[in-house]
Chains A and B, each alone.
Chain A
Amino acid sequence: MMTEVTPHAHKQPLLEVKRLSVDYVDPSQPPAQALRDLTFTLHRGEALGVVGESGCGKSTLMLALMRLLPAAGRIVGGSVRLDDIELLALSEREMAALRWKRLAMIFQGAMNALNPVRTVGDQIAEAIRLHEDASDARALDRRVGELLDLVGIAASRRNQYPFQYSGGMRQRAMIAMALACSPDIVIADEPTTALDVMIQAQILQLLADLRRQLNLSILLVTHDLGIVAELCDRVLVMYGGALAEYAGVDAIYNAPAHPYTQELLKAFPDPTRPLQRLASIPGSPPRLNDLPPGCRFAPRCPQVFDRCHLTPPRVYAITSDHLASCFLVETQQTRGARHE
């Protein structure tokens, strides 16, 4: 079996998420369990891909990490540590001081996230002003120019409005805003979804360059397995609000252990094998306020057996660095042990 050891496996992670659980409450029905017992780490300079279908909890995860959940969202358990700070224990004021300075976010749909009636440079300056001492106007101006330069926009275009920017440039401007306070971690939510493939390639290249240049940690949230394979070191596959599989990028794509990961990969077109028919995953993700009693993927799983419908599987370790929440892993391990 392939064993992977990440170079920083023994160092303390920058971000450590343990058994994080989030509910959405609705007085008229049982709470939706949007996130259950999610555990993962993010090291300095690491790019982690969070993958799953709509409704798998990936957006809830991002918002919970930023502590920006909507009013109905409740963190009902777990811990989120950034270095030695427990983010879930901070007051809103303490969290506000940390947000954007240590932990920033690039939102989906760049074209809609900028204010249409203010110049791009002005909006980047505001992002700095809100969090840092910006009494020196000249220094502030210099910083805006540097940020634009960092993301590949000519500093001379700072006085233009969003409508004068193309979609790709607006996404670059959003990245500049996220970087305004030099964060350690950038959470990117589907950063290229609305963009053409060529512009997508430019943005992915930019993120890869920034990561290297600034030693940024990136949490890339997407349903696109292609861009995760391009950019990430490790991958967290989520299903129905919980961890399905968590491993190094090579193991996820070449030795996936969870049937959901296997099915997702079969459904994704491979441009190097153009004439292959795509597999689809019949059915739809579970309703989060009406989860099945056993494994959340059981109703759609092609390898399902009786036990899967009865109790939810715990997270099993295939190697120290490859986790999957599936009874098949346990079955294989006991069978392997018997052969020894």
Chain B
Amino acid sequence: MNEPLLRVRGLRKLFPVGRRALGRAPDQFVHAVDDVGLDLAAGEALALVGESGCGKSTLALTLLGLETATAGSIHFEGNDLAAAPASVWKAARRHIQMIFQDPYESLNPLMTVGEIVAEPLHVHKLAPNAAERRRRSVAALEDAGLKPAEHFLARFPHELSGGQRQRVAIAAALVLEPRLLVADEPVSMLDVSIRAEILNLLADLKMRRSIAVLFITHDLGTVSAVADRIAVMYLGRIVEMGTVQEVMTAPRHPYTQALLSVVPAPNPRLRRQHIILQGETPDPVKLPTGCRFHPRCPVAVERCRTIDPPLQTIGGTQAAACIRLDEA
């Protein structure tokens, strides 16, 4: 099999917490990302799903080199970025671009749309002259669905709707012709009707331009419009992975089952039994023993307190980390 565009193995990101005495190593850590492995091929979209604090955004920042990995490898186009110096990162980052959650906050209000979209070209010294920058910016804006682009170049973010702003953010990522797009909750701030447009745009970019997409969200409902595969994260670990079809129609991990059961179905005839987990994700500093989901798991048994289950293949491309899989 071909080497995937992105191959992550054993990735860890720990944040030290508490008081640090001079010269003494910290002894407590937030386990934000704890032994994560995943592959992403060109033209493929993987949805990373989980609640706040599960580590999904830290994982994204680590993949962008905005956080340094504590351990593990990040192979992007064959190079291990986890151990690479800043110069290698800068070159790679041209091909790994990010779209943030809030298009009301992520665009500089004092810059025009044209300046915002052209700025990455300056940063990476890619376009030698103004004409070339303009040509590329126009192309990126049109690819992001802002047509005619000339109509938008001189406008400021406050003149645009939320959906248009998110398209500007996408254009600023596309102008570098990235191979991997990391989208962190790109539609959670948008209205339903606009949400579909942005999700469909991401799906089109993936298909037509073979861009790989890492789509980060807490909402399993929005996943299937973009993603081919789903990875479900809980407290720094991937607890289930598989194709959208596999995970959405036959979730195997009790956490995935609960998450899916609470996604509101847009029809009162489909009101389902909800598996509502009580409380919130536990403190990522003092991780539970055994399976880290066991304190909130509706089907936990005694053994779950002691055994930390690895991600094991179930069949097809689906894998889950639960010792009770064989019993179901």
Q: Which residues of A contact B (CB under 8 A)?
A: 53-54, 166-168, 196-202, 204-205, 223-227, 229-230, 249-250, 253-254, 263-265, 267-272, 274-282, 284
Q: Closest approach, in angstroms, between the C-beta of A252 and any C-beta of chain B?
A: 9
Bits for B140-170, please: 1 = Cβ < 8 Å to A, else 0: 0000000000000000000001110000000
B-side contacts of A205, CB under 8 Å: 274, 276
Could you list some 29 contacts between A and B, CB below 8 A? A53-B191, A53-B194, A196-B52, A198-B262, A198-B277, A198-B280, A199-B280, A201-B262, A205-B274, A224-B264, A229-B264, A229-B266, A254-B267, A254-B269, A267-B192, A268-B266, A270-B221, A270-B267, A271-B220, A272-B265, A274-B244, A274-B245, A274-B248, A275-B244, A278-B195, A278-B199, A280-B194, A280-B196, A281-B193
Q: A225-B266, A271-B248, A274-B244 are in contact. Are A280 and B224 (CB under 8 A)?
A: no
Q: Which residues of B contact A (CB under 8 A)?
A: 51-52, 161-163, 191-197, 199-200, 203, 218-225, 244-245, 248-249, 258-260, 262-271, 274, 276-278, 280
B-side contacts of A278, CB under 8 Å: 195-196, 199-200, 225
Secondary structure class of chain B's binding surface, majority of residues: helix
Q: A201-B262, A229-B268, A284-B161 are in contact. Are A196 and B218 (CB under 8 A)?
A: yes
| Chain A, residue nearest B258 (CB) | A198
A303 to B37, CA, bound (A): 49
Q: Closest approach, in angstroms, between the C-beta of A190 and any C-beta of chain B?
A: 11
B-side contacts of A272, CB under 8 Å: 265, 270
B-side contacts of A253, CB under 8 Å: 266-269
| Chain A, residue nearest B50 (CB) | A196
B-side contacts of A198, CB under 8 Å: 51, 258-259, 262, 276-277, 280
B-side contacts of A277, CB under 8 Å: 200, 203, 225
- Please state if A197 and B192 are interface contacts (CB–CB under 8 Å): no
- Please state if A280 and B200 are interface contacts (CB–CB under 8 Å): yes
Looking at the complex, which one of B192, B220, B258, B271 makes contact with A225 (CB distance below 8 Å)?
B192
A-side contacts of B221, CB under 8 Å: 226, 269-271
A197 to B51, CA, bound (A): 7
A-side contacts of B269, CB under 8 Å: 250, 253-254
- Please state if A267 and B264 are interface contacts (CB–CB under 8 Å): no
- Please state if B280 and A270 are interface contacts (CB–CB under 8 Å): no
- Please state if B263 and A271 are interface contacts (CB–CB under 8 Å): yes
A-side contacts of B276, CB under 8 Å: 198, 201-202, 205
A226 to B124, CA, bound (A): 43
Looking at the complex, which one of A196, A225, A276 makes contact with B51 (CB distance below 8 Å)?
A196
A226 to B265, CA, bound (A): 5
A-side contacts of B223, CB under 8 Å: 274
| Chain A, residue nearest B275 (CB) | A201
Additional A-B contacts beyond A253-B266, A268-B266 (5; CB < 8 A)? A54-B191, A196-B52, A226-B263, A229-B266, A270-B265
A230 to B261, CA, bound (A): 12
B-side contacts of A168, CB under 8 Å: 280
| Chain A, residue nearest B195 (CB) | A267
A-side contacts of B200, CB under 8 Å: 277-278, 280
B-side contacts of A197, CB under 8 Å: 51, 218-220, 259, 262-263
| Chain B, residue nearest A266 (CB) | B196
A36 to B244, CA, bound (A): 44
Q: Closest approach, in angstroms, between the C-beta of B225 and any C-beta of chain A?
A: 5
B-side contacts of A199, CB under 8 Å: 51, 280
A282 to B200, CA, bound (A): 12
B-side contacts of A166, CB under 8 Å: 280
B-side contacts of A200, CB under 8 Å: 262
A278 to B276, CA, bound (A): 27
- Please state if B265 and A53 are interface contacts (CB–CB under 8 Å): no
Query: Considering residues A168, A198, A275, which has the most beta carbons from chain B within 10 angstroms of its beta carbon?
Result: A198
Query: Considering residues B163, B192, B220, B280, which has the most beta carbons from chain A within 10 angstroms of its beta carbon?
Result: B192
Looking at the complex, which one of A223, A249, A270 makes contact with B268 (CB distance below 8 Å)?
A249
Q: Closest approach, in angstroms, between the C-beta of B209 and any C-beta of chain A?
A: 18
A263 to B264, CA, bound (A): 18
A168 to B70, CA, bound (A): 31
- What are the 8 tightest A-B residue pairs by CB atom distance, in nearest-first order? A226-B264, A201-B262, A278-B196, A274-B248, A274-B224, A280-B196, A280-B197, A267-B196
A52 to B262, CA, bound (A): 22
A-side contacts of B225, CB under 8 Å: 269, 277-278
Q: Closest approach, in angstroms, between the C-beta of A52 and any C-beta of chain B?
A: 9
A137 to B269, CA, bound (A): 48
Looking at the complex, which one of B51, B193, B260 makes contact with A53 (CB distance below 8 Å)?
B193
A230 to B245, CA, bound (A): 24
A172 to B170, CA, bound (A): 36
Q: Closest approach, in angstroms, between the C-beta of A254 and any C-beta of chain B?
A: 7
A227 to B274, CA, bound (A): 13
A167 to B53, CA, bound (A): 12
| Chain B, residue nearest A284 (CB) | B161
B-side contacts of A274, CB under 8 Å: 223-224, 244-245, 248-249
Q: Closest approach, in angstroms, between the C-beta of B328 and any C-beta of chain A?
A: 20
- Please state if A280 and B264 are interface contacts (CB–CB under 8 Å): no
Q: A278-B200, A280-B196 are in contact. Are A269 and B264 (CB under 8 A)?
A: no
B-side contacts of A269, CB under 8 Å: 221-222, 224-225, 266
